[in-house]
Amino acid sequence: MPEQHTTTPYDALLLLSFGGPEGPDDVVPFLANVTRGRGIPEERLKEVGKHYFLFGGVSPINEQNRALLEALRKDFAEHGVDLPVYWGNRNWAPYLTDTLREMAADGRRRIAVLATSAYASYSGCRQYRENLADALATLTAEGIEPPRVDKLRHYFNHPGFLRPMTESVIASLADLPEDVRAGAHLAFTTHSVPTAAADTSGPVEDHGDGGAYVAQHLDAARVIVDAVREETGVEHPWQLVYQSRSGAPHIPWLEPDICDHLETLHAQGVPAVVMAPIGFVSDHMEVLYDLDTEATAKAAELGLPVRRSATVGADPRFAAAVRDLLLERAAAERGESVERCALGALGAGHDLCPVGCCPARAPRPAAAGADSPYA
């Protein structure tokens, strides 16, 4: 008999992601979606899109999500989890609203949502909750009874997220020339955000000093550093640094940028660097362009050996972690006591975002939180 796991009360899992262009003609409409409501002229969008055009107008993110969907379905099938898995995006097809409409038509009434962002932040958490609220409002306006949506907790400290990244950091170190390996620095990178957004990330009690966003990344980095030391016997100096800054130059964003950091390390005589993009679930354009293209060119110019470690992508251990989070939440919703799997010092985060968590600059309805207008 295969193991059987009840997912009650859930009747579906929704993979909720950012979306990306899949050809040159998609780039400007995709960027218009991303920057919707801000009236950015087409000329500027073409400029912003130049990273995408360098790669034939194709972002890797959709292919990564298709691979993750396949890994999730395989994992569920192998572990007696009988739950359909759907996919919807904020900025490109398959659009979230279309997917939720399809799910409602399929009779799905109670949906667990996995967002492809592991950490707290407006962009990575509340904005997805706003997208869910917008989609539910559209369904309601169409006379469709909106399903209930529950967002699974942040997984930055889940072993199924951290273990594959730890192994890829060790593999990147091993790939460096032997004479520079022991002295290599680890540069953990994540998406920069405005410092104002970082400071208000997470629950209100975590606000200030980079908020939950920075605290969660530091916690994840420490787990990886400790495991690398245990497994290689070498204490590698490390720092959390940032990448992919956008926005107006007078608005402060989290710093230092990875390229400036590489210059600083080189000036200090550091012999090599492993760049570990812990802020990203898969190889987004930010990883391919900002790290593999721009930062790698900067390192070559400096004569500094660098390696970029892998993201988790569709690693089966990550798929298993999603199953764990799903079954954990289902049990919690049934009122059962649950054991919550988490590494690091912060422990498992909340199921339901409290009021004031990762606030928007202009308040808008957000689903799947204590301030949700939906059930």
Ligand X SMILES: CC1=C(CCC(=O)O)c2cc3nc(cc4[nH]c(cc5[nH]c(cc1n2)c(C)c5CCC(=O)O)c(CCC(=O)O)c4C)C(CCC(=O)O)=C3C
Q: Which is nearer to ligand X, 18 or 76 (CB)?
A: 18
Work out whether 247 is an interface residue with ligand X (CB under 6 A). Answer: yes
Least CB distance from residue 125 to ligand X, whole Å?
8
Work out whether 358 is an interface residue with ligand X (CB under 6 A). Answer: no
**Which of the 8 DSSP states describes residue 2?**
-
Work out whether 123 is an interface residue with ligand X (CB under 6 A). Answer: yes
CA 34, CA 86: separation in Å to the nearest integer?
A: 22
Q: Could you give the C-alpha distances from 287 to 60, 140, 256, in angstroms and in order?
A: 10, 38, 17
Q: Which is nearer to ligand X, 10 or 18 (CB)?
A: 18
CA 374, CA 138: separation in Å to the nearest integer?
A: 13
Work out whether 193 is an interface residue with ligand X (CB under 6 A). Answer: yes
Task: Kindly tell me which residue out of 13, 85, 112, 124 binds ligand X, with binding defined by CB under 6 A.
Answer: 124
Q: Could you give the C-alpha distances from 157 to 63, 154, 310, in angstroms and in order?
A: 25, 8, 17
Least CB distance from residue 337 to ligand X, whole Å?
31
Work out whether 182 is an interface residue with ligand X (CB under 6 A). Answer: no
Task: Kindly tell me which residue out of 13, 15, 18, 330 binds ligand X, with binding defined by CB under 6 A.
Answer: 18
CA 206, CA 256: separation in Å to the nearest integer?
A: 22
Work out whether 28 is an interface residue with ligand X (CB under 6 A). Answer: no
Work out whether 216 is an interface residue with ligand X (CB under 6 A). Answer: no
Task: Kindly tell me which residue out of 28, 61, 228, 320 binds ligand X, with binding defined by CB under 6 A.
Answer: 61
Task: Kindly tell me which residue out of 153, 158, 163, 191 binds ligand X, with binding defined by CB under 6 A.
Answer: 191
* Region of 8-16, 129-137, 199-207, 280-288 interacting with ligand X (CB under 6 A): 280-288
DSSP states of 59-95: -SHHHHHHHHHHHHHHHHHHTT----EEEEESSSSSB
Work out whether 246 is an interface residue with ligand X (CB under 6 A). Answer: yes
Q: Could you give the C-alpha distances from 146 to 12, 21, 66, in angstroms and in order?
A: 14, 28, 26
Work out whether 121 is an interface residue with ligand X (CB under 6 A). Answer: yes
Residue 174 near residue 274, CB atoms below 8 Å: no
* Region of 104-112, 121-129, 198-206, 357-365 interacting with ligand X (CB under 6 A): 121-129
**Which of the 8 DSSP states describes residue 204?**
G
Least CB distance from residue 34 to ligand X, whole Å?
5
**Matching residue, tokens 């409501």:** 37
Binding-site residue ranges:
59, 128, 191, 286
Residue 247: other Cβ atoms inside 10 A: 11
Q: Which residues pair with 89 in a beta bridge?
A: 17, 95
Q: Which residues contact 133 (CB under 8 A, 6 or more apart)?
A: 364, 365, 366, 367, 372, 373, 374
CA angle, residues 118, 120, 122, in degrees to nearest 5:
120
Q: Which is nearer to ligand X, 247 or 373 (CB)?
A: 247
Work out whether 48 is an interface residue with ligand X (CB under 6 A). Answer: yes
Task: Kindly tell me which residue out of 12, 15, 16, 31 binds ligand X, with binding defined by CB under 6 A.
Answer: 31
CA angle, residues 209, 210, 213, in degrees to nearest 5:
145
CA 276, CA 188: separation in Å to the nearest integer?
A: 5
Binding-site residue ranges for Fe(2+):
191, 286
Work out whether 285 is an interface residue with ligand X (CB under 6 A). Answer: yes
Least CB distance from residue 46 to ligand X, whole Å?
12
Angle, helices 96-105 vs 127-141, to 10°: value is 50
* Region of 81-89, 120-128, 175-183, 338-346 interacting with ligand X (CB under 6 A): 120-128
Q: Which is nearer to ligand X, 275 or 285 (CB)?
A: 285
Binding-site residue ranges for Fe-coproporphyrin III:
59, 128
* Region of 30-38, 95-103, 175-183, 321-329 interacting with ligand X (CB under 6 A): 30-38
Task: Kindly tell me which residue out of 108, 181, 261, 284 binds ligand X, with binding defined by CB under 6 A.
Answer: 284
**Chain contacts with ligand X (rule: CB under 6 A):** 18, 20, 31, 34-35, 48, 59-61, 116-117, 121, 123-124, 191, 193, 246-247, 284-286
